[in-house]
Amino acid sequence: MSYKVVIVGATGLVGATMLKVLQERKFPVEQLIPVASARSIGKYVEFNSEEVEIVTVKSALAMKPDIALFSAGASTAVEYAQQFAEAGCVVIDNSSAFRMDEDIKLIVPEINGDSLEKSDNIISNPNCSTIQLVMILAPLHAQYGIRRVVVSTYQSVSGTGAKAVLQLKYERHDLEAEMAYPHPIDKNCLPHCDDFTENGYTKEEIKLVNETRKILDDSNLRITATAVRVPVDSAHSESVNIEFSKPFELEEVRSILSGTDGIIVSDDVGANVYPMPLDAEGKDEVFVGRIRRDESNENSLNCWIVADNLRKGAATNAVQIAEKLVEKRLLG
């Protein structure tokens, strides 16, 4: 079977990546229906070597789509996702709108994709930083039981959007830029991803905590985060310290991670091999390296995780959810 697929936000960084991933993974698209803001209506996106006209949300609903991939922000999702769901379309939303809703599943297919059911007409895609983190945590949690996680992120500007990408590009060429951030990002690091909250943490840091607990189905997991924006175009990096309930051997940890779908262990420090954003950019896997024992704390491990935030951190994960729906025959 093939399916009518809507992309809401088709002209954004994530939406454009969704188009690319759908083509690369040969998802069975009968009809692509791109939706974007009013200024883009009547323009075209390219899909499978054809020009496809961008339409309004109302027009997309009238076409009776099977799947809608939302990448247009929380306010758009809140306004329109339920309308698509009520029309018999399964919504996979990349925003934060529904992630912590008790009735909506937060899915990373390799971890909890099998939990999807026919009744799931809105499915939430986790935050980009959360996805790459839980990909590593999940198999280790199953083996050793995680007690505590401390994560520091090094997040690329593409995670903020096109305006931030342009700010970095312009600043690198000593040009005046429209500011996506409150400070310059070139030659700088900003410990400021998303808005600050009353407790001094940013919303991004709180997302990492709450979403990780939900995906791993462990509300007691102790986790703390510091999220930092760095002058890198694409791919997020994370320094992670994990405390286990049980003893572990490093070679067993490497074996578990190497044997997990979607993970590539890149860890040979003698040959200067470790994950880097340049290596992860454009790829769908999560890369992990610098795997080593934390000698300051019993049963604790340090590692370094890198993934392309536009792909596995957003577009690819959403398409993989759609693939899981097809595999489980949950569409139509």
The string of pLDDT tens digits covering residues 116-151 is 999 999 999 999 999 999 999 999 999 999 999 999
The string of pLDDT tens digits covering residues 169-179 is 999 999 999 99
The mean of the pLDDT values for the chain is 97
CATH number reported for the structural domain that contains residue 68 in this entry: 3.40.50.720
Q: Residue 2's CB: how many other CB atoms inside 10 A?
A: 11
137 and 81: one domain?
Answer: no
Does residue 87 lie in a domain region? Answer: yes
Annotation says 193 is catalytic: no
DSSP string, 186-241: TT--BS--S-B-TTS-BHHHHHHHHHHHHHHT-TT-EEEEEEEE-S-SS-EEEEEE
Range of the domain at 122: 3-126+314-327
Does residue 133 lie in a domain region? Answer: yes
Model pTM score? 0.96
199 and 139: one domain?
Answer: yes
* Average pLDDT value for residue range 98-118: 97
Phi and psi based region of residue 317 (left: phi greater than 0; alpha: psi -120 to 50; beta: remaining): alpha
H helix runs in the chain, sequence order: 13-24, 57-62, 74-86, 109-112, 128-144, 162-172, 203-216, 250-258, 277-280, 316-327
164 and 217: one domain?
Answer: yes
Q: What does the alpha-carbon distance between residue 261 and residue 210 come to, in Å, rounded to a whole number?
A: 24
What are the residues facing 155 on neighbouring strands? Answer: 229
Short-list 57, 90, 95, CA closest to 75: 95
Annotated active-site residue in 89, 141, 193, 236: 236
Does residue 332 lie in a domain region? Answer: no
Does residue 207 lie in a domain region? Answer: yes
Q: What's the total number of domains in the chain? A: 2
220 and 285: one domain?
Answer: yes
240 and 185: one domain?
Answer: yes
- State the pLDDT confidence band at 332, using cuts at 50, 70 and 90: confident
Say whether pLDDT at 8 is over 90. Answer: yes
209 and 107: one domain?
Answer: no
* Average pLDDT value for residue range 209-224: 97
CATH number reported for the structural domain that contains residue 295 in this entry: 3.30.360.10
Annotation says 236 is catalytic: yes
Relative orientation angle of helices 250-258 and 128-144, to the nearest 10 degrees? 120
Structure tokens at 230: 């760095």
93 and 12: one domain?
Answer: yes
Phi, then psi, of 164 in degrees rounded to 5: -70, -35
103 and 153: one domain?
Answer: no
233 and 168: one domain?
Answer: yes
- State the pLDDT confidence band at 97, using cuts at 50, 70 and 90: very high
Does residue 58 lie in a domain region? Answer: yes
Determine the Cα angle at 267 with ends 213 and 153, to 5°.
40
Structure tokens at 231: 């002058």
112 and 217: one domain?
Answer: no
Residues 6+ apart with CB under 8 A from 245: 144, 145, 146, 147, 299
Does residue 138 lie in a domain region? Answer: yes
188 and 250: one domain?
Answer: yes
Does residue 93 lie in a domain region? Answer: yes
Annotated active-site residue in 128, 141, 193, 303: 128
228 and 245: one domain?
Answer: yes
Structure tokens at 224: 């703390």
* Average pLDDT value for residue range 264-275: 98
Does residue 55 lie in a domain region? Answer: yes
